[in-house]
Structure 1
Amino acid sequence: MPADRVHAPAELVAWSVEPGQVSARLDNGADLSAPLLLAADGRQSGIRKHLGIRSALWDYGQTGVVTAVEHPRAHDGVAHEIFLPDGPLALLPLSGNRSSVVWSIDRVQAQGALDMPDARLAAMLTERSAGVLGELRIAARRWVYPLNFHHADRYGAARVMLIGDAAHGIHPIAGQGLNLALRDVAVLAELLGEAATLGLDLGDIQLLRRYERLRRPDNAVMCAATDGLTRLFSNRLPLLPQIRRFGLGLVGRSSMLKSFFVAQATGLATQVGQPR
């Protein structure tokens, strides 16, 4: 994109759909126009709300505590997720001997984790992760965000498309939110590239319908899977721990099942651009 088309930091303050284009004004005073507006403005998407698009929506009663840690052991590019009684703890590899932490816990615990000294939180995370990466040290500020679910009833309107968290938001239990957004982008890039090559209108409603037809099934499957996992691992019914251990053990022993879940999680099971 040419430098004169990049406006950052800037916020969208007004927009309207007009014949053949979308017009927008930014808070820096810039007036822009294009054949298509992509709404990538997150779970609380103002564009989605402006369009009156409703979502399936519910709250998990949990909060995600996010920070980064340093550790003596190399992560070797491997992510770790530890399923604890109070919620899953994920250690996600960053550059060097650093990992991102996403800990899903109830709101009272989350406030405690936000307020406690670095050394105490690091010791707690080391203990909760069974020392898989050695003794952890807090290496970034921490923040919290409420964990909920939403999936938009539709992915846009005339000359407007929702992508990423604006269209769907899931629990971080399997770390799939970013992957879903990247798959949205991959499909949309292919569709827009094809339309541009053919000289078609990039804001045509048929393009939106093709995008939604391609992305909704994949998004719906992952939304259902992560919601089911969240409920399974957040439930304290007496027999569920044994059932969970059996299921995870079964997957761990089966190369076929592991390959299936890896393909689903990475998007390798999804053919970009199909069906037409």
Structure 2
Amino acid sequence: MPTILITGCSSGYGLETARRFLDEGWEVIATMRRPEASPLPASDHLRLLALDVTRADSIAAAIAAAGPLDALVNNAGIGVVGAFEATPMAHVRRVFDTNTFGVMAMCQAVIPQMRARRAGTIVNVTSSVTLAPMPLAAAYTASKMAIEGFTGSLAHELGHFGVRAKLVEPGYAPTTRFAANTDVKVEDLIPESYSAFAAPIFAGFANPPLVTREADVAEAVWQAVGDSTGRLRWPAGPDAVALAAQSPSTSAML
């Protein structure tokens, strides 16, 4: 059976993606910082591994324990919502450590084995903010934009060796805990001078016209992993699909 390693499987997209690949008969290595708290049911085709993508020693241990991989899904990420001027640079760096450098480090850890076998797929999960940057998410948007460019370049680099690099771009999913995995409160990042500007934006979050489900993202990852063409991007969810369609430059690269 093919084997896939997925980061950030404690909840949300990663959890649903692990379930999808288990249902499809894959060997799934679901990683998270605290695997003992995993909500995934026991399965002969499931292994749980501890992984912190911001630590080189944790990445090395997880990849060594995982063994040969047919696919890697870089899903782990953290969010931050707030006015950029009020966002501490220490937190900006923390966002990049997980969303950008963590993804790059994971790729660097698995590329040698995939290149040697001349086979494998890497899927990097970004966000629909890369299709239409939104206010009050500048640091998060920047961290995901970096991965978009990185993955596009990587697709060319690795394609020479028969290894594929893909992007999945989820839309807005109200059921995910976008900023709950940080210790910075949203209200602390909205100065009084931004209150009037922020109010309608947060109202839109509370009642969006289109939303993305975790299952939409799992389906997009499934399609991306199985794709043997040069397609790079998979918008996930009706809102992300609509945004991609509005961008000629983006839709041309789907």
The reply to whether TM is greater than 0.5 is no
Structure with higher Rg: it is 1
Task: Specify which structure has the higher proportion of strand.
Answer: 1
TM-score by length of 1: 0.23
- Name the TM-score, length of structure 2 as normaliser: 0.25
